Structure 1
Amino acid sequence: MAAFHYMPGFGNDFETESLPGALPQGQNSPQRCAYGLYAEQLSGSPFTAPRGINERSWLYRIRPSVKHSGRFTPARREHWKTAPNLDDHELPIGQLRWNPTPMPKEPVNFIDGVRTMTTAGDVHGQAGMAAHVYAFNSDMEDDYFFDADGELLLVPEKGRLRIFTEMGIIEVEPSEICIIPRGMMVKVAALDGEARGYICENYGAKFSLPDRGPIGANCLANPRDFKTPVAAYEDKEVPCRLHVKWCGKFYETTLDHSPLDVVAWHGNYAPYKYDLRTFSPVGAILFDHPDPSIFTVLTAPSGEEGTANVDFVIFPPRWLVAEHSFRPPWYHRNIMSEFMGLVYGQYDAKEEGFVPGGMSLHNMMLPHGPDAMGFNKASTVELKPHRLESTMAFMFETRFPQHLTRFAAELESLQDNYADCWTDLKKRFNGTPEGDWSE
């Protein structure tokens, strides 16, 4: 990984080269590039976007990417869905939870191992997102992929990933995340033989660091902890396949070389990784349980201020110290829709049934909160300082309703009895201020 750091949404510029002198100095597109390379710009924003959010990188590559496009033919991936994806199943609305997705028994690579759980918004209007799971056990040796529909936020749960991008190599493990920008060519390998995790495909504005407001200059995710790769390239001439996702459809073409041939680059449109263990949480230090928004790592804004297209929120190890307060998340209904996953450990509001690799979906305005066991425990426990250890849950939260796919609705791992976790929440009102806490 690079010695420099990436600050999402702040327009900083980087440079890195695999061969000495490959980066031109003083101009981006010289008459002749060193090593016989081609200069090419990759833009992640309109040309006239304000300087602070204008994203572009100059790539110096063995072949221009027009040599990588070839002649595309349609391809099918039945389980990777794109919004709008409506009326795909007959399952009624409700609070939903799944056990982990099984690992494949036959050889499956990364892009063939993606399964869509929910879609939200409309990819054609570049608004909304999709929540996917991935499970694969075969490397993309001569297969390459780019997603023209959105950036991909990868959250590994099982197994390390080696992601070879146009701009270099990123290795990411559980407790880390990786962002692959829209249109970035990649191939993915499982360093431990097999891998499983989650993906947020963001159709809208790019992920950036949230404003801290009264928190000030420090805490939450700090810019210095976001890292970009150093330049690396493949110079191989063998039959290869390039797979593309474009407006919800898939296409592929055959090449006689690897498209990962960028020898040097500079700019601010780049893939990056972040270690969730470096997140510095803040919280209540006297009373009350704060809103989950204080755990936002990255946010993709919408056109409405304060209402995200999608937020990426985590619930990491932390101290609980609030006095005279119900410490787990309170019961609530929300205009936002919440897709949750668990990387490891236990989630404090759901100690039973929500397991690593599992998922839950609480759609807009559907009530949810701690199960009966969690409520009873949190209501009667001695409120001394307590540290939540060995836990990492996350949430993809969006302003749009998340529509379930047929795959998700018919998964055998769907917990039919999830709603029963609230059945034992008994009436404790008895007309007295103390209430009825007898069991």
Structure 2
Amino acid sequence: MHYQTGFLNHFATEAIEGALPERRNSPQIPPFGLYAEQFSTTAFTAPRAENRRSWLYRIRPTTAHGAFRPYQGAPHLRAADGMYTTPNRLRWDPLPMPEGAVDFIDGMVTYGGNGDPSESGIGIHLYAATASMDTRAFQNSDGEMLIVPQQGELHLITELGRMEVTPGFIALIPAGMRFRVELAGPSRGYICENFGAPFRLPDLGPIGANGLANPRDFETPVAWFEDRDEDFEIVQKFNGTLWTTTIDHSPFDVVAWHGNTAPCRYDLARFNVMGTVSFDHPDPSIFTVLTSPSDTPGTANCDFVIFPPRWMVAEDTFRPPWFHRNVMSEFMGLIHGVYDAKEGGGFAPGGASLHNQFNGHGPDAQSTRKAMEADLKPTKIDDTLAFMFESRAIIQTTQFAMTGNFLQSDYDACWEGFEKAKLP
């Protein structure tokens, strides 16, 4: 499978030679009788540097479908209403694999979120699935989807091409784009649904021109299509609820496209970690892969932050994340290994934690003692990959998250046993 590289580049790709019009985006008769369709994920009049749209040339237009009706599946894919939200620090065990055949749509479960699909905010979901989607597709009209696999390889079939996404990679699907998920086996992971400004690379400021995630390492698929005349179900998330309709052909019939709004994947191992080489622990913002800015400069609607393998060399410094209370709310997940601030156990791959704004958190007692007593030689933190969805607003939790039997009742205990400071 081939990819094009770069983030927000203007790509041009065709599955059949000659399918892309040469000079006009919407000629009177596109090549081979295809239909021209513009797919826009920003307003038409957005500044050129921020405008995202692609021209698709497809076998049939997307207008040919009947009325949508409420979808009865995915019972736990629901918005949080704040009824179950507390200031408590929360941690969850991993989702078990479902019994029987459950695909990606019906395997999604909402843990929390904030804001509103018509304005800004995020939704946070986990998924556990055992079956591939075949004759159906998912379309999220509320926001773009950042997919973080933790177990199992995903084969993502999108309108603009195919992507293979394994644990250690992420996938970003634009809002409104149809896709299906085929599995290579039981699969589990995390999803950040972004209602706000589209994810972009963060500014580097004093870091300069290089570092963190590089645009060239994001991979966008080349054109691919399937010409299948059979019934396909389209499940759409719209205004917080799910709807369904049926069409008589595959929705993945885009023969050629060009533009700069497209799905992409990124290998987190390519993230260029920055850190101190003298003293003090840098802020976690130094680990930001993607950001969705808000209307307040420097305060994100959502940051996607990772904690990958890296060297720790700071002298006379407490090296794990320091204790803090933060204006940002932090939802964490673990892809593999052990997170260096929770070496005492309880934070397992596939599990999650939530520290809402201004609630104190940090390393557990065991990790703290180990760090304070350590001989500070250069140390490689290896075989680990944790991440964080970080938002400026309180992350409201759902009924399932608070009562679904995966919430750990003893999470606060990890901060017991700290000795009182000895004052003179």
Decide: shared fold, TM above 0.5.
Answer: yes
**Which residue identity does 1:53 align to in structure 2?**
E
Work out the CA distance in 1 between the residues paired with 2:341 and 2:301. Answer: 26
> What displacement does 1:93 show?
2.7
Work out the CA distance in 2 between the residues paired with 1:4 and 1:185. Answer: 20
Indicate conservation of the 8 Å contact 1:14/1:268, yes or no: yes
Q: Counterpart in 2 of 1:27?
A: 24
2:95 is paired with a residue whose SS is coil
Report matched runs for 1:21-420 at 5 Å: 21-67=18-64, 69-76=65-72, 77-82=74-79, 85-87=81-83, 89=84, 92-125=86-119, 127-191=120-184, 193-351=185-343, 352-420=345-413
Work out the CA distance in 2 between the residues paired with 1:2 and 1:24. Answer: 22
> What displacement does 1:156 show?
0.2
Indicate conservation of the 8 Å contact 1:72/1:253, yes or no: yes
Work out the CA distance in 1 between the residues paired with 2:413 and 2:118. Answer: 39
Q: Counterpart in 2 of 1:434?
A: none
> What displacement does 1:4 show?
2.6
> What displacement does 1:2 show?
4.3
Indicate conservation of the 8 Å contact 1:2/1:227, yes or no: no
Work out the CA distance in 2 between the residues paired with 1:324 and 1:93. Answer: 34
Work out the CA distance in 2 between the residues paired with 1:387 and 1:33. Answer: 56
Unaligned stretches of 5+ residues in structure 2: none
**Which residue identity does 1:369 align to in structure 2?**
G
Work out the CA distance in 2 between the residues paired with 1:268 and 1:82. Answer: 30
1:228 is paired with a residue whose SS is strand
Indicate conservation of the 8 Å contact 2:323/2:363, yes or no: yes
**Identity of matched residues, %:** 53
Select the residue among 12, 17, 20 that pairs with 2:14: 17
Indicate conservation of the 8 Å contact 2:104/2:133, yes or no: yes
Work out the CA distance in 2 between the residues paired with 1:92 and 1:15. Answer: 48
Indicate conservation of the 8 Å contact 1:121/1:401, yes or no: no
Normalising by structure 1, report the TM-score. 0.94
Q: Counterpart in 1 of 2:417?
A: 424
Indicate conservation of the 8 Å contact 2:75/2:106, yes or no: no
Indicate conservation of the 8 Å contact 2:79/2:398, yes or no: no
Work out the CA distance in 1 between the residues paired with 2:86 and 2:291. Answer: 30
Distance 1:135 1:249, change over 3 A: same
Work out the CA distance in 2 between the residues paired with 1:151 and 1:6. Answer: 18
2:221 is paired with a residue whose SS is coil
Normalising by structure 2, report the TM-score. 0.98
Indicate conservation of the 8 Å contact 1:57/1:266, yes or no: yes
2:367 is paired with a residue whose SS is helix
Work out the CA distance in 1 between the residues paired with 2:418 and 2:149. Answer: 34
Work out the CA distance in 2 between the residues paired with 1:109 and 1:138. Answer: 5
**Which residue identity does 1:173 align to in structure 2?**
T
**Which residue identity does 1:15 align to in structure 2?**
A
Work out the CA distance in 1 between the residues paired with 2:251 and 2:149. Answer: 25
Q: What do residues 333-356 of structure 1 show as CA deviations (whole Å, max 9, x unaligned)?
A: 011100000000111010111111
Indicate conservation of the 8 Å contact 1:155/1:177, yes or no: yes
Q: What do residues 289-321 of structure 1 show as CA deviations (whole Å, max 9, x unaligned)?
A: 110000000000001100000000000000000
Work out the CA distance in 2 between the residues paired with 1:4 and 1:166. Answer: 15
Indicate conservation of the 8 Å contact 1:172/1:178, yes or no: yes
2:216 is paired with a residue whose SS is helix
**Which residue identity does 2:341 align to in structure 1?**
A
Count residues with an aligned counterpart. Answer: 422
1:119 is paired with a residue whose SS is strand
> What displacement does 1:3 show?
4.4
> What displacement does 1:204 show?
0.3
Moved over 3 A (4+): none
Bigger Cα displacement from structure 2, 233-242 vs 72-81: 72-81
Bigger Cα displacement from structure 2, 318-327 vs 116-125: 116-125
Unaligned stretches of 5+ residues in structure 1: 432-439
